[in-house]
Amino acid sequence: MSLTGWKVLVPKPPEQAIAMADHLTSLGATPVVSTPLRTVLPTNRTERDSLERAVREIARGVYSWVVVTSANTVRSLVEVGLTPTAAQATTWACVGSATASALTRELGVAAAITPPANNRGAQGLVEMFPRYLATTHRNRRVLFPHSDLSNEVIPTGLTDLGWEVTTAVAYHTVPAPVDQEILKAITTGEIGALLVTSGSGIRSLLDQAGSIPPSTVIACIGTRSAAECEKLGLRVDCVAPVSNGIVLIDTLADFIQQTET
């Protein structure tokens, strides 16, 4: 498996792109790291109050579990006052290893549930989550702090398992300017492959670039991002079977190897 000679866009902030960039480099590719999105804390007073109240409730041990699906969520909780000591008052579940690493790094706690690499994502987490049992759990309350773009997979799945789920918007995802030289490299085809990790990210990137050449290989991390690409009129070349950045890169490499032979 090789990506020698390819320039590949990694649409992540530099601190979140290290593992993916290193993996691309190990396969011979040149990673180009630039995010078309940034996150901001809620500015709506109702949302902000709900998030701050949720943090206070974590510290008081109100929740049996807190479920987090991104490093951005962890950082938002810290920004509104969650401390390592307070984080010890509940049990944590993470959607994947990157989120679990952020939880340990920022708050010094380990996730009790993290889906395996072959089943990461919201559905994988729901499948691993325990059913509520009054004899086992102190209460049935679960906190799910999330992005403003989050779907209902986790709240619905956990409710079906008998839990009472409280949701709180932890951050909003908004467009961020991409460097003009990178945009030029995309539109000219110098960057030959794009990794698509979210629908909002590819929308922002296309808005700024204006167009993406037909020769560009587009690899999506899941069916939701693939569907968004297709809505935007983009051809999707391959879709990773699980929500994992390393698997996405391997999927891209497999596709390119097949097309080049």
Q: Residue 192 belongs to a domain with what CATH number?
A: 3.40.50.10090
| Residue 208 tokens, joined | 């700024």
Same domain, 68 and 149: yes
In a domain, 227, yes or no: yes
In a domain, 127, yes or no: yes
Task: Output phi, psi for 248, to 5 deg.
Answer: -60, -45
Same domain, 154 and 230: no
- State pLDDT tens for residues 58-74: 999 999 999 999 999 99
In a domain, 1, yes or no: no
In a domain, 26, yes or no: yes
- State pLDDT tens for residues 106-148: 999 999 999 987 777 888 999 999 998 877 888 999 999 999 9
- For 234, the domain range is 7-36+176-260
In a domain, 62, yes or no: yes
Of 149-158, 194-203, 241-250, the one with minimum mean pLDDT is: 241-250
Tell me what pLDDT residue 243 has.
80
Torsion of CA 10, 12, 14, 18, to 10 degrees: -60
Model confidence at 261: pLDDT above 80: no
Same domain, 155 and 60: yes
DSSP letters, 204-243, are: HHHHHHS---TTSEEEESSHHHHHHHHHTTPPP-EE-SSS
Quick one: angle between helices 199-209 and 223-231, nearest 10? Answer: 30
Report d(CA 115, CA 105) in Å as an integer: 19
In a domain, 2, yes or no: no
Tell me what pLDDT residue 158 has.
97
Residue position matching structure tokens 């997979």: 153
Same domain, 21 and 53: no
Q: Where are the alpha helices (DSSP H) in the chain?
A: 18-26, 45-59, 71-79, 84-87, 97-107, 122-128, 153-160, 180-187, 199-209, 223-231, 245-260
Same domain, 62 and 169: yes
pTM of the model: 0.85
Same domain, 94 and 129: yes
pLDDT class of 3 with cuts at 50, 70, 90: very high
Beta bridge partners of 254: none
Across the chain, mean pLDDT equals 94
* Tally of domains within the chain: 2
Q: Which of 156, 173, 190 is the last residue of a domain?
A: 173
- Stated length of the chain: 261
Same domain, 59 and 71: yes
Tell me what pLDDT residue 99 has.
92
